[in-house]
């Protein structure tokens, strides 16, 4: 999953409540597909979210 901003915060909270661990990898513009203009204008950083069950 790729996310940023408030959506990323909600995603991390929800996965945590369900007992998952999350690892974030910050992505550069070259790693994003499609239009990235809104992210650039908002100064938002985007992350790839890796999820696994907590052991």
Where do the domains of the chain lie? 2-53
Residue 30 has what pLDDT?
77
Residue 55 has what pLDDT?
74
Task: Report residue 50 as tokens.
Answer: 């890796």
Contact 16, 54 (CB under 8 A): no
Residue 38 has what pLDDT?
75
pTM: 0.76
Residue 29 has what pLDDT?
77
DSSP 3-state of 53:
strand
Per-residue pLDDT of the chain (55 residues; tens, 9 = 90+): 888 889 999 999 999 999 999 999 999 877 777 777 777 777 888 999 999 997 7
């Amino acid at each position: 999953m790729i996310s940023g901003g408030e959506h990323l915060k909600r995603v991390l909270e929800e996965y945590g409540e369900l007992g998952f661990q999350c690892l974030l990898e910050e992505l550069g513009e070259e790693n994003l597909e499609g239009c990235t203009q809104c992210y650039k204008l908002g100064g938002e950083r985007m992350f790839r979210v890796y999820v696994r069950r907590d052991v």
